Amino acid sequence: MGFTMGLNLLLLLAMVATNILSLYHLSSTLQTPKKPPTTAPLVPDHLIQQLHTIRATINQLTRLQPTTTSTTTTTKSTTPPDLLLHSRLSPIASSCHNHADLLHKYMTYTPYSLCPPDSDSIAESLILRGCHPLPRRRCFSRTPPKPTSSLPHNPFPSSLPDQNVLWSSKNYSCSSFSCLIRSNPKLGFDPSREIQRFTSYTNELDLPIPQLLQIANSANSALRLGLDIGGGTGTFAATMKLHNVTVVTTTMNLGAPYNEAVALRGLVPLHVPLQQRLPVFDGVLDLVRCGHAVNRWIPAAALEFLLFDADRVLRSGGYLWLDHFFSKSVDLDKVYGPLIGKLGYKKVKWATGSKADSKYGEVYLTALLQKPGSK
């Protein structure tokens, strides 16, 4: 790098010297009395010699500079070998290239050995930045040292086993589920508390699962397969499992082991961000639920793509459930209401309610929408 800057500085000095000599020659020529046209002005020999020397130096430096630059680039290139290998086998998401440092750190490991201890946090950072799916690696994932083998079949066990989670102080503020429950009981890690969430009716914004099943039954629309977007610890999927409905949950490990909690309840977690295309085939689901993670903090354009991706995976007659969608009242009327209306779905339920102690006119929306037949 220092040698390249030195060459550039010499080039600059050479160009300045050339201009100064040219100006000197031009001024001396202008000050000389005009002679007949037949007599050409003479350039001093020492000036010609200096100009030839400067031009030769510039040509030499110009020939050297590309070689020096390429050598420096090659020397400083630290692309992990497995990243180069994977790029030949499968395409890498374009957003990954915008975060080359993180991607290189994620792919820097020793093949056929344990993956680095910070792999999970790096992977989470890359996924949230749009680098998804991540490149595959040839290392062994780390597992808890002494996991319990007696895992519950009931999705609402009395407690979740701590020993089945790799608790990292870099990723989590707690090292046990009981600590998470004490810090915030609403996070969803207390199964005894969660069992009541989707079964009771307190206001118009609630849609208890028995009522949802009754609505589908009245419309002769079977509920068998569903997807819960941003489902946290999987409580909705757990409740639907009690009614013989299979629901998979998309969730991220933001400050807590949400994916592990879903799996420990005997459910399927999908480590997928909100901006990622849903990993489901077209027109195969009966129900898509959007939980608290889907709200006004998502840019309107991204939300529109999310809703139309939900439409893609829903079958004809399937249901889209926006559960407690949060926004300002004016935005719901001018932005989100028309955006949802673009789907052309039937409004089975559309209820709004003001947020308690709202200072800026925030409201909640609960909407159950049914997909029409093909247009």
pLDDT digits (tens, 9 = 90+) for 63-88: 444 444 444 443 345 788 888 888 77
C-beta of residue 239 within 8 angstroms of C-beta of residue 228? no
Burial class (CB in 10 A: 0-12, 13-18, 19+), 223: buried
Among 232, 230, 229, CA closest to 184: 232
Residue 315 structure tokens: 């079958």
For residue 99, the model assigns a pLDDT of 92
Q: Which residue has the tokens 């100006």?
A: 23
**Region 128-149: what's the mean pLDDT?**
92
15 versus 263: the higher-pLDDT residue is 263
Domains parsed from the chain with CATH numbers: 81-128 (no CATH), 162-370 (3.40.50.150)
Q: Coil, helix or strand for 369?
A: strand
Portion of the chain with pLDDT greater than 90, in percent: 64
pLDDT digits (tens, 9 = 90+) for 349-375: 999 999 887 778 899 999 999 999 875
For residue 85, the model assigns a pLDDT of 84
Query: CA 290, 293, 298 angle in degrees (round to 5)?
Result: 100
- Phi, psi at residue 235, to the nearest 5°? -65, -40
CA gap 6, 8 in Å, rounded: 5
pLDDT digits (tens, 9 = 90+) for 249-303: 999 999 999 999 999 999 999 999 998 999 999 999 999 999 989 999 999 999 9
Chain centroid, CA 122 distance in Å: 12
For residue 78, the model assigns a pLDDT of 76
Q: Alpha carbon of 173 to those of 145, 162, 165, 236, 285: distances in Å? A: 20, 14, 14, 25, 36
**Alpha helices per DSSP H over 242-279:** 258-264
Q: Alpha carbon of 319 to those of 41, 120, 227, 337, 350: distances in Å? A: 92, 34, 11, 17, 13
